[in-house]
Structure 1
């Protein structure tokens, strides 16, 4: 079972026909329906980050750190730095914590502050699927010697998905201004990941649909 460039192109053309012009750039989303997967087993409820070859959108990244790590994060171009003191304040200001959780796409935290993040921001980041992930699932929990420049660049091309009650993966793989080849290559990276992580590889995939933000879904024919 595989996805071909031709079949992705056919689906993208169908989306163009179904989608009216909008005043914003629509995201191209994918829904991968899985089968023969026992979600009662925690390891089957996938929660991971994947770095794509082509960025989808501009992302906002917040780094939670102190000392030298915070200084290097600022120099590397993080959109916001939260230190230990501010983190504590957010713990007693739920409204501000929720606002920050919605503004930023990714949160990267120094390993020494991770317990504080779980305590003070966990209640707002958790439901949004934005809690930092440690390797191998993600790269959001870092040590004092981490290369912040490389990590921030990585997150500019990262997608994250999380399965809950249903055996389906929902995530973005592109936008309507990207070349079809770029969207296909992003999808292929996701497929390669699933082939490695799923118990039966691609045989666990039942069907794949893609859609633009405001369009109806289109099924991709699998070979």
Structure 2
């Protein structure tokens, strides 16, 4: 059962933020304290599976060929990039940038990782979209489905950062459970737990915010 104060904060944000003519993102804004973020050990870098997903399908690009590529398409991949198409991207950085902007994340068979890193790292790296390697013992369909519900909680070298927890059209209790999942995981990731958390707010893209921590 989600904590009451988190549920009430989410309800208040949804009720008091003006409605827009598009489906707004619901985010969590995190402010840390008493941490030297120049020290890599203090940075937050967690992948979290949200219990209720993000309320939308992510656009996932998969670098694969043959049967793996077919199964990726069946599992809902937005794009399947074959070895031939990868060569075309290497030679056309404009096309590579367009694909990088279109997809939320990428997965790649391990055989493609060296050429992607060497030739497309400059495009994908700064966007935080270097592919997730598809290890030999992993099923592409299962990996795609798990990534549909996953978010990256990543501070880099900043004390303040954001992460999406869903869409405004989702049920308030589902959103609250997603928020609680983020807060719980963040507390575990920090050296001094809540003592390193200055504040955590839930907010819509263009609406009001409410404090949950």
Give your verdict on TM over 0.5. yes
Give runs of aligned pairs for residues 91-170 of structure 1, distance below 5 A.
91-132=90-131, 140-170=132-162
Match of 2:23 in 1: 25
CA contact (8 A) 1:5 1:181 kept: no
Deviations 1:66-125 (A, max 9, x none): 344323323333221112232222122111111111111110111221122212222222
Change (3 A) 1:29 1:166: same
CA contact (8 A) 2:62 2:72 kept: yes
Match of 2:180 in 1: 188
Cα distance in 2 for residues equivalent to 1:176 and 1:71: 33
Give runs of aligned pairs for residues 39-118 of structure 1, distance below 5 A.
39-56=37-54, 57-118=56-117
What is the DSSP-based 3-state SS (H/G/I as helix, E as strand, rest coil) of the residue aligned with 2:31? strand
Cα distance in 2 for residues equivalent to 1:77 and 1:17: 33
Deviations 1:6-54 (A, max 9, x none): 2223323432354222111111100111112221222322233211111
Give 5+ residue unaligned stretches, structure 2: none
How many residue pairs are counted as aligned between the two chains?
Answer: 211
Cα distance in 2 for residues equivalent to 1:217 and 1:206: 15
CA contact (8 A) 1:45 1:164 kept: yes
What is the DSSP-based 3-state SS (H/G/I as helix, E as strand, rest coil) of the residue aligned with 2:106? strand
Q: Which moved more, 1:75-84 or 1:9-18?
A: 9-18
TM-score, normalised with respect to structure 2: 0.89
TM-score, normalised with respect to structure 1: 0.85
Cα distance in 2 for residues equivalent to 1:53 and 1:145: 25
